[in-house]
Every structure is written in C-alpha cells, then in structure tokens.
Chain A
Amino acid sequence: MLIKLSGGTVYDPANGINGEARDIFIRDGRIVKPGDNERVDQEYPLKGYVVMAGAIDPHTHIGGGKVTIGRMMLTEDHIGQEVARGELTRAGCGHAVPSTLTAGYRYAEMGYTACFEPAMLPANARQAHMEMGDTPMVDKGAFVMLGSDDFLLRAMTQKKGSEFINDYIGWTMHAAQALAVKVVNPGGISAFKFNQRKLDLDEKHVHYELTPRDILITLARGLREIGVTHPLHVHGCNLGVPGNDETTLATIRAMEGLPVHLTHVQFHSYGTEGDMKFSSGAPRVAELVNKNKNVSMDVGQIMFGQTCTASGDSMRQYGNTKSAYPKKWVVMDIECDAGCGVVPMKYKDKSFVNALQWAIGLELFMMVDDPWRLFLTTDHPNGGPFTTYPHLIRLLMDRGFRNDMLQKIHPGAQAATILGSLKREYSLYEIAIMTRAGPAKSLGLKDRGHLGVGASADITVYDDVADREAMFQKPGLVFKNGELIVKNGVIVKVVQGATHVARPEYDRAIEKPLREYFDRYHTVRMDNLRVGDHEIIQSDKGSIIQQPTRARVRAA
C-alpha cells in the first residue's frame, strides 16, 4: 500500500529541508520514492500543516527499578491522574511517574516515537527491559551504567589495560541489551559506599585510589575504540552542588577532545555568587560548550510543580534528601554495581533556588549556539514530567511568552538571571534538530529522526498554530512505521515499538575472569545476568534493532 502525505510544510534538518512544501510517500513502513505512475492508495492532504519526523527523547527515565520505586512511593501523585481503560488502550495513571502504559500513550499523543532510558544498571537491566516492554507505541533503548561497578574499578586499579576494559564494556553492552553507556558521578556511587560524601573530578576514591577523571577518560576512550556511536553519556560529579559550574568546565577540559555527551547540564551549572551563594553558571558553561565541538549536551530543564527525581547518583541524591517534598525518599546501594536515589521534589516559582534553576536551564538553551549538540529534555521526571515539553517548546520559541513567565518567578531570581535580555527565539527547524535529527544522529539511529527515502516512517504532523504549546501538545497525525497511530491527539492504533541496541565487538575471553568474579562475589551467575534476545522478542512481544557500530580500533 502506498500512502502519500501531500503538500505539508516539511522540516527535515537531517536532509536540509527547512519548511518546504513536499510530498512524502510511505510503503511497508518506510519512506519511499515511488515510480512515476504508481497508484496512491491513501492520501493525506497536508497543505499548511507542519511535518516532522517522529520526536525522539534521548534521556527520559521510563523504565527500571528506580522508576517503579518512585511509582510505588508517590501514589498520592497518581490520585486524580488515573486513566480508564479505553477501547484500544489499557488503564494506568500518571503525572510525575506515570505507569509504563500511560507513559507510552502520552509520548505518542505528543508526537514522540522513540524514548531512551538513560540509567540502566546491569544488575537491573532485565527489569528495565520488562518495563520498557510494557511501554507501548514508542521505540526504546537504554544506556547501561558503568563507572562505579567494582569489576571496572578493580580492573583499572589492577592496570588490566584498555583491551581488557574495552572487552568488558562491550560484553556489558551485549549482556544488558544497551544502545550506549552512561557514567553517573564517576566512581562516586562506589565511594559513597565507603562513606565518602563527595568526589570531585580529581579527588581520589579512598579504596580504589582512582579519580573521576581517570574513569571518564577510560570509558570515553573505550567507547571510541570499540566504535559505539553515542559518546560516553556523562552525569558528572557534584550534581546540584553550588559551584559545580567549575566542575563542569573542568570536566569538559578533562576530556581532551574525546567525544562526550554531558547530560542534564542545568543541574551542573550552578555558581556561588550573590547573597544566597547560588548563581547561574550557564553563560560560562555555554561558552565552553560552544568552543568544544566534541561536546554535546542535553539541558534537563526544570519545570514548576510536583515531580520525582530518580537517579543512579546515590551519593548526590542522599545529599538532596533534605529538599524532599513530600518528606520521604529512597536511596539504595546496589549489587557492587551501582546505586540509586529517588527523591520527590516540588519546584516552586516563588522559591529563589527553583526559580533560578528554571532560568539557568533556559539560559543554556539560549546561549548554546548549535542545536545539533543540544537536546531538549527535562531529564524526565527529574526536572519535570515529559508532558511539559510543549510548554518548554513555547518558552524557547516565543520570547514574549518567556518574558511573561519570567515576570512571575521569585524577584531575586529575576535579578540574578540574564534571561530577560536574551533575544533568541527557536525556529521550527531548530526545534526539529533538537528533538529529532540531533538525538538520532548522536545515538546512531540511522533510519530514525529524518524523512529521507529509506527512513522508518515515524512521522508527526502538526497544525501550524501560533501558540506553539498548543501545537506541540496535540499533533494532528502521528505515524509509526507508516501506520497511523494518533489522530488529533487521540490514539487510533496501539503498536509495540522496537528496542534499539548497539553490539560492539568484544573478545569472548573476557568471560573467563568475569565468570570467576561473579562466582566468587556475586549472588547472580554471569550467564543469568545476561538479558536474552528471546526475553525482549517473545516475553515482551517486542523486537530488536541492532544499530551499526564502527570497527574496533585496537592498541598497536
């Protein structure tokens, strides 16, 4: 069957198309170039509508133990947000930490067709995939966490060498069914288990005598050498600590040109100026990001209201428990592997600190020049639920609206931000880069995030209305693999997305020391840690898409 989307105003940055009226043809789930005389079976006249690839969220906590702890802990946040079973859709609930099913539906209703869970612990990978398996509509994938796991830290201390460590990175990506690798508070989660309460970039872990800098370089270089497309995804040291803008600048310099993605940079751009000893470090961070082309980032914008923070950073989340609202929280030390911290938060526009956090995020959006290296996130749910994205897009596209909102926040924060003076207004083309083409390129999703021939027909069609919040809230049409799944913001077909993975080359010899290690110390056998393809394909009724990796580069 040949479907034609005719005459829509197309924004497809990956193919350099900036708001041109184009026809798009779909057959068998792909975008195609039909022959001259081929019959069109179904046509959607889209003159005046905005057409983009389906949106991609490159950093959203949608699956895994810590999210379910949040769901279980914050039941009061679900009250009034329950969703009834529909003709096509399952029941659920959702606001800050929605149920898996509801999260999938809401993403699709907003025109998103792929979401990536950024903090999958190897020890919890199976559950993360099970939860993603129960997240319908969208494609998904996950970044596996390394950097506080004792196997890696022991190997580094024992100077096992880069080939050994690279094999381990590759093995872990296979075992956990990961697309990329994330490091969270490098070494810090482990250090906290030894009662260290902070770990600066060049501070030594008391037991392993390694620094976060050592770990960052080891992992970033390793990923480059084994050919994984997405660079090391870095949640740096000192999250949320005033003065961490210095840490962020130092981290960028420490990478020595190695490709790196800095995540939720808003939480890492705090200075210590002013009466409250809390100020914006966004201009300095943005300036250095602009200069270092090896760096990409996402913002982790905070949005006002109740949410729940969920992170692998047990050390810093424990530090944040004093701000918990409501006053309850969970922190865990996990399996000689990692940790987690789940802390509910209510960001208030009348709080100086929260208001300035909001402004810092927006300053970063305004001041980082290249949208190809800057992705739109709230670090869902840490900065706010993903359902606030349309509001955030309007803040970026509409200076008048932004300045109206600025007038409402704590006056001290208004005085402490340069946001009001920043004139930038994002174009639809730039929004399409930040929410489609950029994340797809960075994550190495070769047939997603664009509308060229051969791409998967994940397509979102919007009404071109002046209120960009309303526009992005409720797309007119959403196609997933060429099937119409959402019409006027309502689900018309339920589909199960694929799981994207990357499988870099590794030497199976690494299994000998790994098996010994698991047998000696762990409570799970190495073979049982692995998540099998059949679990995703048969048990979760999903599918796996293996994205390309580059050939491995070995030391001479």
Chain B
Amino acid sequence: MTTTTTGSPPPATARPSGLSTGGASGVHENVACPFCGILCDDLEIGRTASGLKIRKNGCDRAVAGFERPVVASSPQVAGREVSLAEAVTEAARLVRAARLPLFGGLGTDVEGMRAVMSAAEHAGGVVDHAFSEGQYRNFEVLQTAGWFMSTLTETRNRADLIVIVGSDIHKLHPRFFERIVATPEPMFLMAGKKRTVVFIGAGLDTSAATGGHIGEVISLPCPTAAVGEVVSALRARLKGVPLAAKEIAGIAIANIDDLADRCRKADYGVMVWAPPSLAFPAADLTVRIVSDLVKDLNLTTRFAGLSLGGNEGAVSAGAVSTWQSGFPLRVSYASGKPDYDPVRFAADRLIARRETDLVLWVASFTPDLMPPESDIPTVLLGVPGMTLAVQPAVYIPVGTPGADHAGRLIRCDNVVSLPLTNLGRSTLPSVATVLAAIEHAL
C-alpha cells in the first residue's frame, strides 16, 4: 500500500478513542453537546476542582448536563450496593427469566443503541424510546405521505421566511434561534434581504428572534392545540379555497392570507416544528398538513420542513433501530423476527397494561428521563443520582456519552451526526459496555 506523501492524514486518525486530554490547557474546543437534538458542536469546556465548566457557547441544558456533579454511585441489587459484575449477573438473570422484557428509555448514543438492539434481539424483547410518542407524530407522516425537508445549515443560510409551528423551541433547544435563525451572515441572503420569522401559536417565546438578518417578526397567537386548524386554513387559502369564517382559532383570515402571500413570495421558506411541542391528540395530522402545504408550495417556489426535537438520543435510537431491524422502534423480537406494531409495542402501553414483565430502562444523558411509574421489576441503566419512586431491582450507574466517554449521536434533521468527546468527567462505564456484559451473561 502506498501512503500519502505530503498530505498527512487528518489528526482524527491519530485521535485515540480513550480519554481526550484537552491539550496542555485542559480545555476542550469544538465540543459537541449531547443534551438536545440540535447537537451544537462549538462548546469550549474546561475543568474545575469539582468537575466540568463550560467556558464558551453553553446554554441552560448544556450547563445542567455537563456541569452536573457526578455523585458517588455504586451498582445496586434491590437497594444493596454490589459490584458491577454482581449487578450484571442479576440483570441478566432477570432478563433471561422475563417473558417479554421491554428495553425502554433508550437515552443513549449510537453505540449504546447498537447494544440495545443486540440484547433485545437476544432476549426476545421489545425496543422503544421514551420520546417515541413525539417522534411518531413525524413517523406517521413519513410512512403515509412523505415530505420535503431541510437541514439546520441549509435553513441557516438560505431561508428568507421561517414559520415556527406551535413549538416553544427555546425550551427544547435554547440555542436554535442564535445558531439558525438570527445568524449574522447567511450565505444566500444578500443585497439587503431580510428574514421574516412567523410564530403560529400563543405563548411562544419570540425574544430570540432578533438581530442578524431578521426583519419582520409576526405572531399569530392561537391555542397550541389549534395550530392544525390554522395551518389547514393557510393551506386552503394557498390553494385558493374560499373560507366562510372570518377567523380561525382567533386569527383573522386577513392575517392568514397575509402569511399565504408571504409563503408564495418567499424564495426559500421553512416550516419549523418540534414534535414534542405538539402535545395534543392526533398531532400527526398537523404535521401532515404542514408537510402537504410544503409540497404544494414547491410547485412554484422552494419550501421545506425542518423538524427539531430528538433530545435524549431519540433520533439515534430511531435511526439505529431502523437500519438494523427495518423499523423505527416499537419492534418486538419475541418471535425471533422483528415484529413491528407502533400501537401494540409502545412502551407506555406495555407498562400500563402490564404486558411486559421486566423494564430495562436506559437513561445516560439526564436524570430526568424517568420510566413510567409502575411496580414492574426494573433494571435501570441510569446516570448517577436517579431516584425512582419504586426501587429498581437492579441499578447500574452509567456514564454520559460526550462527558464520561466518547460516542456518536445523530442530529434532529436525521442527516448530520457528531462525534462526542470523552471529557474524562468520570470513569463510569458506557451503556454499550454494560449491555454487552448483560447480553454475554444471558
């Protein structure tokens, strides 16, 4: 084999998978943040005596995630402190004995999710992510009609009209506006062109829609559960359908017509939603209308959707499940084959109906990802300090990808994935390591 002459291989080649030292200064640059689905990767993180400290480009979520003190924590069986090996043995015994183990939560990275799939297959279990209900608002549309979508960088550089649909994005993705909407220098917004930002829904935080190339900011306040009616009316008006009503969900038809006009005239419009925000019945139909409206607009101009969400590793879980099994979560391996049923194999339902007899819950990013309360025996692979209402049968503290060990995550737009750095916060094992050990002991 010949090797390169002057073009040396990228430094990444030499980067070990183990501890990244952060160089002489102990400061890590270009760190990707795993604590929400947009995976900002421009953080600068240093150390203090008590742990990690974000020096640049943090947000509330990043601070809570990276700077969370790592409390001393030991594996437990029925509340009793045991060695990791004992906990693994007991977890394997419970999984082996279970009729239908549920692999739930699934707050983990790609490697962790690979281990989940392998173990679930081996154990004849079900896999489902804690945030599937939100993701299925999208999957239902993808599977019935499809859509026309954009990604974060494309939207940042190209959109002259951004319509936020019923989603309080700040709460889920604190830096979305800073990084995507209010950017100083979009590549294709030239010659004094401005970006219009429209919020559909009452009570949405519009404060960050300012600066950069942002021109007009328009709010169409309606109850969140009624955004579907508003976008339906918008779609109808775009298609030239007359409407008898003077207002829809409190919004004057004239304002809807104005938005329709802006949509038609946009060079590149983007409809943005965060599935977890659309927490009302049949919200997939709202996503469907938005997607269909985007398709209609593409007959004449350019338009796209942009779906956010994907916190707690949800997008990675959906993607890995899909490429390995063919199905986006809610898969059972009870028969040996992947058996797909998005209703039957929903984790909440299996727990509520007691159709599962063992919950193996994975939560490696935040202590907030709690399993639904139940007295079904639970094996918890969680970050240190998680307290369940009912004591888990087995608790194994695990590290967080991107803080305690290296890893990889897929971003909310389902295109970009980021490497997560080992910042050396603790020596807790990864979900992948623990699950591989459990599977080995099955």
Q: Which residues of A contact B (CB under 8 A)?
A: 63, 65, 67-69, 71-73, 75, 78-79, 82-85, 90-94, 97-102, 121, 123-124, 126-127, 130-131, 134, 150, 170, 174-175, 192-195, 207, 318, 324, 327-337, 342, 503-508, 520-525, 527-528, 530-535, 538-539, 545-549, 551-552
Q: Known contacts A126-B408, A551-B5: does B415 contact A332 (CB below 8 Å)?
A: yes
- Contact assessment for B188 and A207 in the assembled complex, using a CB-CB cutoff below 8 Å: yes
Q: Which residues of B contact A123 (CB under 8 A)?
A: 151, 153, 415-416
Across the interface, which residues of B come within 8 angstroms of A100, CB to CB? Answer: 323-324
- Give the residues in chain B near A552, CB-CB below 8 Å: 5
Is B147's CB within 8 Å of the partner chain A?
Answer: yes
Contacts of B187 in A (CB 8 A): 150, 336, 521
How many chain B residues touch A (CB < 8 A): the figure is: 80
B121 at the interface (CB under 8 A from A): yes
Name the one of B145, B267, B322 contacting A328, with C-beta atoms under 8 angstroms: B145
Q: For the complex, what is the distance from the CA of A335 to the CA of B408, rounded to whole Å?
A: 19
Q: Which listed residue, A63, A207, A334, touches B415 by the CB 8 Å rule?
A: A334
Say yes or no for B161: interface residue by CB 8 A criterion. Answer: no
Bound complex: CA A520 to CA B184 (Å): 9
Taking CB atoms and an 8 Å cut-off, the chain B residues in 147-200 that contact chain A are: 147-154, 156-158, 179-180, 185, 187-188
- In the assembled complex, the CB of A298 is this many whole angstroms from the nearest CB of chain B, namely 25
Contact among A73, A98, A174, A523 with B153 in the assembled complex (CB-CB below 8 Å): A523
Q: What 1/0 mask marks residues of chain B from 99 to 123 whose CB sits below 8 Å from any chain A CB?
A: 0000000000011001000100110
**Quick check: B325 and A329 within 8 Å, CB to CB?**
no
Is B48 in contact with chain A by the CB < 8 A criterion? Answer: no
Are B416's CB and A82's CB within 8 A? no
* Residue from the list A330, A535, A549 in contact with B419, Cβ < 8 A: A535
The answer on a CB contact under 8 Å between A71 and B337 is no
Please measure, in the bound complex, the distance between the C-alpha atom of A174 and the C-alpha atom of B418, giving whole angstroms.
Answer: 17
Select from chain B the residue with minimum beta-carbon distance to A101.
Answer: B324
How close is B131's CB to chain A, nearest CB, in angstroms? 16
Q: Is A525 in contact with B416, judged by CB distance below 8 angstroms? A: no
The answer on a CB contact under 8 Å between A82 and B418 is: no
Q: CB distance B415 to A532 under 8 Å?
A: no
A82-B339 in contact given A90-B121, A100-B323, A193-B302 (Cβ < 8 Å):
yes
- Closest A residue to B144 by beta carbon equals A328
Beyond A78-B326, A332-B148, A503-B4, whether A127 also contacts B319 by CB under 8 A is yes
What is the chain B residue whose CB lies nearest that of A501? B9
Q: Of B247-255, B256-264, B328-336, which binds chain A?
A: B328-336
* A5 CA to B19 CA, complexed, in Å: 47
Q: List 17 A-B contacts (CB under 8 A).
A: A73-B142, A75-B143, A82-B337, A82-B338, A85-B122, A93-B325, A100-B324, A134-B114, A134-B323, A150-B187, A193-B268, A328-B146, A331-B149, A332-B149, A524-B41, A532-B13, A546-B2
Tell me the bound Cα distance from A71 to B322 in angstroms: 7
Query: Nearest Cβ distance between residue A382 and chain B, in whole angstroms?
Result: 17
Contact of A524 among B9, B408, B416 (CB under 8 A): B416
In the complex, residue of chain B having the shortest beta-carbon distance to the beta carbon of A77: B326
Chain A residues near B12 (CB, 8 Å)? 527, 530-534
Name the distance in Å between B251's Cβ and chain A's nearest Cβ.
Answer: 29
| Chain A CB within 10 A, most for which of B142, B147, B154 | B154
Report how far A551 CA is from B3 CA in the complex, Å: 10
- Given contacts A85-B121, A505-B6, A523 and B419 within 8 Å (CB-CB): no
Q: State the CA gap A97–B302 with chains docked (Å).
A: 29
Q: Please tell me if B369 contacts chain A, counting CB pairs below 8 Å.
A: no
Asked if B52 CB lies within 8 Å of chain A CBs, one says no
Q: Answer whether residue B293 sits at the interface, using C-beta atoms and an 8 A cutoff.
A: no
CB of B1 within 8 Å of the partner chain = yes
Closest to A329 in B: B146
Query: Which chain A residues lie closer than 8 Å to B149 at the CB level?
Result: 330-333
Pair A334/B151 contact, Cβ less than 8 Å: yes
- The answer to whether A505 and B185 have CB atoms under 8 Å apart is no
Q: Is B8 an interface position by the 8 A CB rule?
A: yes
Chain A positions within 8 Å of B3 at CB level: 503, 546
B32 within 8 A of A: yes
Measured CA separation A545–B1 after assembly (Å): 9
Known A-B contacts A130-B408, A193-B154; A71 and B7 likewise in contact (beta carbons under 8 Å): no
Distance between B17 CB and nearest chain A CB, rounded to angstroms:
5
How many angstroms from the CA of A507 to the CA of B7 in the assembled complex?
Answer: 5
**Cα-based distance from A134 to B139 in the complex (angstroms):** 23
| B414 CB within 8 Å of chain A | yes
Q: Given A72-B322, A528-B30, A528-B41: A504 and B4 within 8 A (CB)?
A: yes
Q: Which residues of A contact B408 (CB under 8 A)?
A: 126, 130, 535, 539
With A and B bound together, what is the CA distance between A141 and B48 in angstroms? 43
Write the nearest CB–CB distance from B334 to chain A, whole angstroms: 11
List of A residues within 8 angstroms of B143 by Cβ: 72-73, 75, 328
Q: Which 10 A-B residue pairs are closest in the complex by CB-CB distance? A: A532-B12, A84-B336, A93-B326, A82-B337, A328-B146, A506-B7, A505-B7, A548-B2, A335-B153, A78-B326
Q: A330-B146, A333-B150 are in contact. Are A82 and B326 (CB under 8 A)?
A: yes
Kindly provide the distance from the CB of B213 to the nearest chain A CB, expressed in whole angstroms: 13
Quick check: is B42 within 8 A (CB to CB) of the other chain? yes
Chain B residues whose CB sits within 8 angstroms of the CB of A65 once the complex forms: 414-415
Q: How far is the CB of A384 from chain B (nearest CB, A)?
A: 18
Contact partner, A522, options B121, B153, B326, Cβ 8 Å: B153
Of all chain A residues, the one with the shortest Cβ separation from B421 is A528
Q: Is the CB of B415 within 8 A of A195?
A: no
Known A68-B414, A90-B121, A507-B7; further 16 A-B contacts with Cβ < 8 A: A72-B327, A82-B338, A84-B337, A91-B325, A91-B337, A92-B338, A99-B323, A99-B325, A126-B419, A174-B7, A328-B144, A331-B149, A334-B415, A528-B32, A534-B15, A547-B1
A328 vs B3: C-alpha distance when bound (angstroms): 46
Chain B residue numbers with a CB within 8 Å of A528 are: 30, 32, 41, 418-419
| Contact B324–A127 (Cβ < 8 Å) | no
- Taken residue by residue from 183 to 225, chain B's Cβ proximity to chain A (1 for < 8 Å, 0 otherwise) reads as 0010110000000000000000000000000000000000000
CB-defined contacts of B188 to chain A, threshold 8 Å = 207
- Nearest CB in chain A to that of B30: its residue: A525
User: Is A99 a contact partner of B324 (Cβ separation < 8 A)?
Assistant: yes
Q: List CB contacts (< 8 Å) of B289-325 with chain A.
A: 298, 301-302, 304, 318-319, 322-325
List A contacts of B145 (CB < 8 A): 327-328
B23 lies within 8 A of chain A by Cβ: no
Contact B417 A130 (CB under 8 A): yes
Q: Within the assembled complex, what's the spacing in Å between the Cα atoms of A552 and B419? A: 31
| Most A CB within 10 A of own CB, among B2, B121, B180, B328 | B2
Nearest CB on B from A139, distance (A)? 15
The CA-CA distance from A84 to B337 in the complex, in Å, is 4
Chain B nearest CB from A165 CB (Å) reads 14
Contact between A78 and B8, CB atoms less than 8 A apart: no
Residues of chain B within 8 A (CB-CB) of A175 are 10
Chain B hits for A192, CB < 8 A: 302
Asked if B5 and A505 sit within 8 Å, CB to CB, the answer is yes
A214 and B4 CA atoms in complex are apart in Å by 28
Give the Cβ gap from A554 to chain B, nearest Cβ, in Å.
11
Q: Which residues of A contact B146 (CB under 8 A)?
A: 73, 324, 328-330, 342
| Contact B4 A505, beta carbon cutoff 8 Å | yes
In whole angstroms, what is the CA distance A92 to B150 when docked?
A: 30
Bound complex: CA A67 to CA B143 (Å): 14
- Which chain B residue lies CB-closest to A78? B326
**A contact residues around B17 at 8 Å (CB):** 534, 538-539
Most buried by B among A324, A333, A505, A506: A333
- In the bound complex, CA of A328 to CA of B288 (Å): 12
Cα distance A318–B229 when bound, in Å?
28
- Complex Cα gap A399–B54 (Å): 70
State A524–B39 Cα separation when bound (angstroms). Answer: 9
- Shortest distance from the beta carbon of B125 to any chain A beta carbon, whole Å: 12
Contact, CB under 8 Å: B327 / A78: yes
For the complex formed, measure the closest distance between the CB of A505 and the CB atoms of chain B, giving whole angstroms. 4
Contact of B16 with A by CB under 8 A: yes
Q: How far is the CB of B172 from chain A (nearest CB, A)?
A: 16
Check if B417 sits within 8 Å of A332, measured CB to CB. no
